[in-house]
Amino acid sequence: MSHLLQTDPRIHEIIQDETSRQINKLQLIASENYASPSVLEATGSVLTNKYAEGYPGKRYYGGCEYVDQAEDLARERLMQLFGAKYANVQPHSGATANQAVYFTFVQPGDKVLGMDLAHGGHLTHGSPVNFSGKLYDISSYGVSKESGTIDLDEVETLAMREKPKLIIVGASSYSRNIDYKAFRDIADRAGAFLWADIAHPAGLIATKLLNDPIPHCHVVTSTTHKTLRGPRGGIIMMGEDWENPFGIVAPKSGRVKMMSEILDSVVMPGIQGGPLMHVVAAKAVAFGEAAQPSFASYQKQVKANASRLAGLMVEHGFNLISGGTDNHLMLIDLHNKNVTGKEAEHAMEASGITLNKNMVPFDDRSPFVTSGIRIGTAAITTRGFREHDMTFVADMINTVIDNINDEATYDRVRDEVRTYCSKFPLYTELSE
Ligand code: DSN
């Protein structure tokens, strides 16, 4: 950072402020984590200078001998981690990885069935404000009002009625284990491809703490920066490679192209140009870290922390959608506390606790207000929080909700949070 301090003190200051924010506040956003110093180092490396359109051994630019090695390592490590036969590590983001799946498996106007964003789905799973909702004929399933869990009967009814070409399974605020095999049975009966988006639980799936989608889905996408704890980015995987069923052949030989070839060409040159090779290298670092025994222990702790925190929140009288959690997150309906998601997010932020407002299933408020909050344990577990620390986390959240609009409470909680966080040093080499 010494160069930046000299050449651009304003940006240097902003980065230092953000570092302090991440260190001194409770980071409970379920889609965030703290990447390791090694991941940060690779992300900030000279690989950012290299253009490498194409794939290893088949680039449109010279000088790719080293970035080729980084991309090969990233792909090999990722396939090993998830037991996949195909991986593409170039998507700049989860949204881009998802776009590649749409462009590979369906045509504009085709029917697609995905989880409703308001019930826990993802923006790119058919929201009307996203390209997915604009380009495709989307039907959405949700959770049961009674149980708060995915209503497989509804999924099956919709699938058999709509006969979508593609079914998407995966969520951004769903706290339960997903039965990918049941989804595959439904997809087979409806004649649909099945695609799992595991952006949120990827780390827990890689360490076998949740059901494995790879054997049951035609294609799997993820981001790399949530529970997987890598740099920001996207990935695409398949458990098997197979000849494409769309009649796409190689121009000269007439050979039927494999799905891997089609997915690769949809990512580049179809959607993206030059891959971000510094990020690809950082993905390789993260996948290497995820293969270590310490990563499995970390994921177990993420899950144990979420489970303990969920239990404590219930004891404090909070209403958890589905009653608890199997993964790293929980979704809380604040109706019984007479607080909106927006008010809660604001109050928490003022108190040194960072989380996000979130729609709850069957919400009667807009996405800008919402009736819920989402809490995740991936980041605080990285910095060393254990189950007994969840008592502090639950008590602080409960205190703020019980004292909404009381600035004195916010000030007191913020001081307590800062003191508590100081017991868990983080990024010591990056702080001033
Ligand atoms: N925006 C990400 C999240 O917060 O879950 C993915 O949808």
Task: List the catalytic residue out of 223, 227, 340, 381.
Answer: 223
The span from the CA of 30 to the CA of 410, in Å, is 22
> For the chain, which residues make up each domain, given as ranges?
41-290, 295-421
CATH superfamily, domain 295-421, is: Aspartate Aminotransferase, domain 1 (3.90.1150.10)
Q: CA nearest 281: which of 238, 236, 233?
A: 233
CATH topology of domain 41-290: Aspartate Aminotransferase; domain 2 (3.40.640)
- How many CA atoms within 13 Å lie on the side-chain side of 132? 28
Token pair 């144990």: residue: 304
- The confidence score (pLDDT) of residue 345 equals 98
- The confidence score (pLDDT) of residue 118 equals 86
Ligand 1, atom 6, residue with closest C-alpha: 172
Query: Which atom of ligand 1 approaches the CA of 32 most closely?
Result: 4
CB burial of residue 62 (10 Å; 0-12, 13-18, 19+)? exposed
Contacts of 122 (CB under 8 A, 6+ apart): 94, 98, 114, 115, 170, 171, 172, 197, 199
State in Å: Cα 169 to ligand 1 middle. Answer: 15
- Dihedral of alpha carbons 149, 152, 153, 154, sign: positive
Q: Is the CB of 122 under 6 A from ligand 1?
A: yes
- The confidence score (pLDDT) of residue 317 equals 98
Task: List the catalytic residue out of 71, 116, 151, 197.
Answer: 197
Q: What predicted TM-score, i.e. pTM, was given to this entire model?
A: 0.97
- Which segments within 14-131 are labelled E, that is strand? 26-27, 54-55, 58-59, 86-88, 111-115
- The confidence score (pLDDT) of residue 430 equals 80
Q: What pairing do the DSSP bridges indicate for beta strands 234-238 and 219-223?
A: antiparallel
Is residue 298 among the annotated active site residues? no
CA dihedral 167→240→200→169, nearest 10 degrees, is 10
Q: Is the CB of 130 under 6 A from ligand 1?
A: no
The span from the CA of 356 to the CA of 257, in Å, is 44
Ligand 1, atom 3, residue with closest C-alpha: 31
Q: How far from 242 is each of 132, 196, 218, 253, CA to CA, in Å?
A: 25, 18, 10, 18
State in Å: Cα 31 to ligand 1 middle. Answer: 6
Phi and psi dihedrals of 368, rounded to 5? -85, -15
Q: Is the CB of 381 under 6 A from ligand 1?
A: no
Neighbours of 168 (CB within 10 A): 31
**Considering just the CA atoms, what is the radius of gyration of the chain in Å?**
22
Q: What is the mean pLDDT of each run of 10 residues along the chain (432 residues)?
A: 90 96 98 98 98 97 98 98 98 98 98 94 94 97 96 97 98 98 98 98 98 98 98 98 96 96 98 98 99 98 98 98 98 98 98 98 96 98 98 98 98 98 93 60
Q: Is the CB of 31 under 6 A from ligand 1?
A: yes
State in Å: Cα 122 to ligand 1 middle. Answer: 7
Counting ligand 1 atoms within 8 A of each CB, the residue from 129, 226, 359 with the most, and so the one to mutate, is: 226
